[in-house]
Amino acid sequence: MKEWLRVPLADWHPDKTIRCGQIFHWYQKENGYFLVRDKEVLHVQTTGEEVVFSGAIQNPDKWLRFLGLHTERDLSPYAKDPALVDALLYAKGLRLLLQDPFVTIISFILSANNHFARIHTGIHCMAAHWGEEIEEGVFSFPAPEQLAAVPPSRLRALCTTGYRDRYIAQTAARIAEGSWDLSLPFSLSANEARKVLLQLPGVGPKVADCILLFAYGKGDVFPVDVWMHRVMRALYPNGEDGRKQIAEAAVQRFGEDAGLLQQMLFYYARDHKLGAGKKS
């Protein structure tokens, strides 16, 4: 593959960015990671203190946005917050990606009451069965029309979707027939876009916020699940208690940085078992 771009590892860390739970349509081989956008493949490889991106890039701006390299955020003011300083150091190099909306919607419908490995396997399964092989062992994700044509029972049998099979099929059908506009949330505020996403089968408030953050670039959201509720209660014991209240307070406190800080906290807390064993 032809080299396209080099970035310091401190600015874009492959393991932290790809394995933090924001993306599930990726492949790993001995020589690095492979990311897919539409029907283009990007190879991601660490070389010393740099990360090298390679591929037959047709639209550089599209990939820069996908990789989160189209913008920079200054998080230095948050280093003064004792609750955040360790996470900021540990997660340095984690970038928020700007992913394909349909892939992200299906990924996070599948994420409900699920774990990373099974979500990753399910997305790989859908790509392998109904996508297109664009490089050996690397598949594009199926279009809404392709996934809508798959019976829910087949999704469940082949891709271990469980009860989410009908939500995936129904959502794909709504998008395929045009009754739900994939592009609409881009033009709306986070609060208005959330209302639109909640119209989709299988999308609740936390799933909606993940989609807003990872597909629509809405930085002023703070997804709170059971784990993040425990984490925030551990970091801010005198703060808000309910999940909705925690999310709203975080957005008020962090503004457009809320989503990135949430992901850095999530990554740090997962690896350090912060909040483990605490009841929500």
Do 250 and 157 reside in the same domain of the chain? Answer: no
In whole angstroms, what separates CA 206 from the centre of its chain? 12
Residue 13 lies in a domain: yes
CATH number at residue 31: 3.30.310.260
Residue 96 lies in a domain: no
**d(C-alpha 195, C-alpha 170), whole Å:** 18
Residue 75 lies in a domain: no
Residue 212 lies in a domain: no
Do 108 and 87 reside in the same domain of the chain? Answer: no
Residue 46 lies in a domain: yes
Residue 135 lies in a domain: yes
Domain-ending residue, one of 181, 205, 229: 205
Residue 200 lies in a domain: yes
Identify the DSSP state of 23: -
- Selection from 209, 201, 132 nearest residue 172 by Cα: 201
Range of the domain at 19: 3-70
pLDDT by residue for the chain (280 residues), tens digit each?
Answer: 899 999 999 999 999 999 999 999 999 998 899 999 989 999 999 999 999 999 999 999 999 999 999 999 999 999 999 999 999 999 999 999 999 999 999 999 999 999 999 999 999 999 999 999 999 999 999 999 999 999 999 999 999 999 999 999 999 999 999 999 999 999 999 999 999 999 999 999 999 999 999 999 999 999 999 989 999 999 999 888 899 999 999 999 999 999 999 999 999 999 998 867 555 5
* Helix locations, the chain, DSSP H: 14-18, 60-66, 85-90, 101-110, 116-130, 144-148, 152-159, 165-177, 190-197, 205-214, 226-235, 243-254, 258-272
Do 193 and 239 reside in the same domain of the chain? Answer: no
Do 176 and 265 reside in the same domain of the chain? Answer: no
Q: Is 80 a catalytic residue?
A: no
pTM of the model: 0.96
Do 105 and 201 reside in the same domain of the chain? Answer: yes
Domain-ending residue, one of 205, 226, 256: 205
Residue 23 lies in a domain: yes
Do 119 and 197 reside in the same domain of the chain? Answer: yes
Do 185 and 119 reside in the same domain of the chain? Answer: yes
Do 55 and 132 reside in the same domain of the chain? Answer: no
**What's residue 277's pLDDT?**
59
Q: How many domains does the chain have?
A: 3
Do 231 and 272 reside in the same domain of the chain? Answer: yes
CATH number at residue 174: 1.10.340.30
Do 278 and 224 reside in the same domain of the chain? Answer: yes
Q: Which of the residues 206, 218, 278, 279 is marked catalytic?
A: 206
Domain-ending residue, one of 179, 205, 231: 205
